[in-house]
Structure 1
Amino acid sequence: MVCNLISVDKDTYELLQQELIELRQVVASLEGAKSSNLLKSSQQQMDLFIEYIPAAIAIFDRQMRYVLTSRRWREDYNLSDRDIIGRSHCEIFADIPSYWQEIHQRCLAGTIGAEENIFPLGEGTIHWVKWQINPWYDKGSNEIGGIIIFSEVITAHKQLEETAICDRQQAAAQLQEKEQFLRGIYDGVTQPIFVIDVVDNYELRYAGWNSATEKITGISNAEVIGKTPEYVHGTLEGLEVRQRFQICIETGISIKYEECLTFQGQETWWLTTINPLKNSEGQVYRLVGTALNITERKRTEEALQASQHFIQRIADSSPNILYIFDLEQQRNVYANQEIGKLLGYSNQQIQQMGTQILPTITHPDDWEKVVTHLQNFTKAKDGEIYEFEFRVKQANGQWCWLYTRETVFSRDADGKINQILGVSTDITERKQAEMQLQQQAQNLENTLRELQRTQSQLIQSEKMSSLGNMVAGVAHEINNPVNFIHGNLIPASEYTQDLLRLVELYQQHFPYPPVEIQAEIIAIDLDFLKEDLVKLFQSMTVGTQRIREIVLSLRNFSRLDEAEFKDVDIHEGIDSTLMILHNRLKAKPNHPEIAVIKEYGKLPLIECYPGQLNQVFMNLLANAIDSLEQSFSGEQGQIRICTEVCNSKWAIIRIIDNGLGISQEILPKLFDPFFTTKDVGKGTGLGLSISYQIVVNKHRGNLSCNSRPGQGAEFVIKIPISQS
């Protein structure tokens, strides 16, 4: 006999020893159980379980006629009001593709399958269906009696997968890669130990087994090396063994299961444990299995397995967590193996948590939701299904999302619900995709809002720049001719005085002019002309002086030559703005003049952007005038402008009107872009928003509004005297 001893670290050795001890204890406990206690289940319990399980399950005979279906199956395939038991599957779904019939025939030959396909539901409706198909065996003849199909309509999930990019976090545990053959661990152990190599494309090859396995199988260690599961177990049995190995590879965690294997023509039952070994990249490269012979226990359970094991296989084959929760004991009295795979807790850990399992693993933010959900069952009716989503903590500390459907399973003698049946699906990836999409939507919304605000500022700034250019240009063009006229009025007045004095001298020395001259003197009213001509020049001087003041105000308002911070007189900016708005302050046919009261304090020169600050004054004063024009028909409108210094560091400018005021609901939105209370076409909603940006962002100040309906409005500008 070839001795292929290998070295194994102490931890692996102790782990295997502990596992062997546990296996022996399981056998001992099972052999001591009385067979009479295992025969209590009935076909009625199986029917009740399948009817109310929140999963789509259908059982067919060899002619693909319906034997039994769950309520969820009938709901998913629109069969709720149709008697389908005994009818052919192809008769109900006449449009079923031929490849589905081929799948059914392969399963009737012993093949187990699981895929995702599209399925016609009739009337032109197509859905994506995730399904798993298994044969079931007749108890008496041990031949295939038909097939079982588990299905789930996943159309919504497929659509979500097409629209969302899931950012899956993968934690790769780096383990030292080395050989961990089990050949050298006490070759005399009575339980079978075997090793499977996972080669390219997940092909499985036996790497060897111990002498106990040689005795049981009749195949030597040297012969089995490099062979496939089909070589050892035959085609059908080998395929089942391969699929169980594949589950361990795909999940990457240890699995334990019972299996029926035929060795040397004898059928035996085994409790098998498969442990995956991973390389430094986290990939499973080898499987180490141990098996415990439980044939005697299985013989004791033969009567019970006719119904209960059938249900157990259904539950364990489901990709979802199936469980029965006892409301009185506040714990699970049954759960399929998927709960261990998904959550990572061992059966011992689950048992230790006992009645605290839900408070322990439920996310604190979802606990109230779970409590409310359980309270619904105090008044639940049979057949009602309650759905909810919540988060649970896995053994590794991470949170996963579960979508749960629960229904009434059993009642006590008084009709009170004592147990509920539930099915939970892992929807973590879907929730992560939803949260990612929500975050992306929020980011896009924030970006759009910022773009709108920036665009509005650019538009308004461009408008103000154009206005400033126009105002400065107009001021410049007016200034030159007005200065020319104003400068020539004085000599023109002097020349006129000289001519008038000359006329007076003519009148003194020639008191009796010719008749023609006397007639012209009377025609032009010479005395009035001499008196009014002086007044005319005085009026023209006052007019040109007024024009020069307006031009100065326009130039001061535009401030195009002051794009940087300047030390300026704030009062000049306010006065220039009032000069431009003077026409709007005058009396109109429908309302009297708006009075402007200046209560200027003693302000130093303020370091600011003068042009931008003038824009703020223009927006606030124009809004105050708008408010007064709308609210004071025939009454005296009033605008008070107050300035002061605060703590020698801040300049405060208050613009107060006695209009109708602003409601408390509108105040929080006052400075939002595009928000306006004016009629369509009378306001863009940008003035106050841009004013806020200029004061707060550009000058590191504050702009606020105090107002109550019927008591006017007060806008307060607070900016630092110095920006340094």
Structure 2
Amino acid sequence: MSTQVKKAFQESETKFSTIFHTTPDPVWIATLAEGKFLNVNESFCQFWGDTPENILGKTSGQLGLWKNIENLHHFKERLINEGSILNFKLVICTHSQQTKTVLISAKVQYLGEQDCLIGVIRDVSDLYDELRLRKKTEIALHKSEAMLLEAQQLAHIGNWDYDVITGKITWSTQLFQILGRDQTLGEPTYEEILRLYYPQDAEQLHQAVERSLSTGESYQLELRVVKADGSFQYTEARGKAELNAQGQVIRLFGTTQDMTERRQVEDQLRASQHFIEKITELTPNLLYIYDHIEQRNVYINRSVAETLGYSATAIQSMGANLFPIICHPDDLYLVYQSMQQLHSLQDREFVEIEYRVKNAQGQWCWLYSRDMVFSRTADGRLKQTLGTSQDISKRKEVELALREAEYNLRLANQELEKLVNIDGLTQIANRRCFDHRLEQEWQRLYREQEFLSLLLFDVDYFKRYNDAYGHLLGDECLIKIAQSVQQVIFRPADLLARYGGEEFVVILPNTDIDGTMVIAQRIHTAIQDLAIPHQASKVSNIVTISIGISSLIPTSELSPSNLIEQADQALYRAKQQGRNQSFSDGQGREFRSFF
């Protein structure tokens, strides 16, 4: 070797050593076969939390670096197949028992007469923590939006938006309900909106909108909506303008709140106060005084006639037969029971009840009544009670609708449970469904002491397929394979699932190794019959698969992971020995099937 070559070689080694020991990223060199660490830099030692003396000469398994052995198999498999790997994500546990999310990049290099790995670790734990935090924030945001919607429903508030540039009007669902417009008709035009209001109020709203568009002025108005029956629905309308950088109004937005119930409560309060003062007819509720000695109503207000359609004369003429005549048969016992409770009431106590009565038109109405002692006889016995009733028919309709909605929600949740167990691409069972079913079958066959078998297979040289034909055809290939194999797996207890990527798995309960090999052969045949072209494959000009087989009787010393690990090792052997075959070494016998 010339002096110039030696010098260049020494300079190269010096540069490599300098970069190796000074780079801020953890760098390591290990043997490919055993994974034994040959050299690590200072950054690796700081990351791992130990000295070089306690690291060098040991394997990654001895150090406990891999939390998931499947990741190790997948890592080695990619390195063997591809020679290098970039940004392999996994979770590891350091010497100081810290769990870290890292990206590993490594390359196979021939050093010192053996294949070695030169690798770099990048700690991305903070990044993934941030992503998890962002996900939690998004979930909280969705929950907040749902709570806002619920709050709007409870407060009878709807919101709207008007894009001045596009002219688009947007209403919330609650606003459709408040203003009584069918949501399937879509948002109304501005002219249609104005026609919803009492003419005088519509003009007031129009003027407020015009001012807001021209000056950006906000507004707050009380407006009356004219309902189909000619009655008013009272609302409070608020609007605000959004301006661009040039001070031009580009958007109006605001809310509309149904104030009808509040107005009703206010009217009832004023009427009640007036009633106490002069016993007038102003309250919208049904008011009555019932004489228990005479067994008749001695007073009813005008609302009784308005709500139920009976005149005061008609009510009084019914006398003691009032309740059997107008009360629903199923609720009559509740009415009599509440009347008995009135005899034991103390002053200022009351009895409340919900029951159905028939109005003069023959329709059933729900009433909510509260009764209290109004007067007593000289010896303290109950004489008269004062009662007020409220028509709650609409509330009852809402309660019924709510129960129906809850029932429909349960059905939807059941359907959702089905969807979360299906792989979106192949429409077969997903990994979640597989894990759950495997645990179920393991427990069942442990009790029965019967065989449980597993087929783990993937597409030979699928990465080459994707590179040659594109990911869209790659997806179609996986779909065709899933559909074809599903025709082979026809027993109710059998399960075909997508295990991940191009890997599939089949659960075969109550099936020994011989039966499992038969199923594997059928799967090979089914894939062969598809004849999907694969010119990039090294074993065939069509798509083929390799299958790893495991079969055992569950025991207390084993777990489902043992079954999966055996199948994974068998798949590795099948691929190592040439692919396009099935392999199993279970029960002390080696099965190998070529297709």
TM-score (norm 2): 0.30
Structure of higher RCO (CA pairs closer than 8 Å, 6+ residues apart): 1
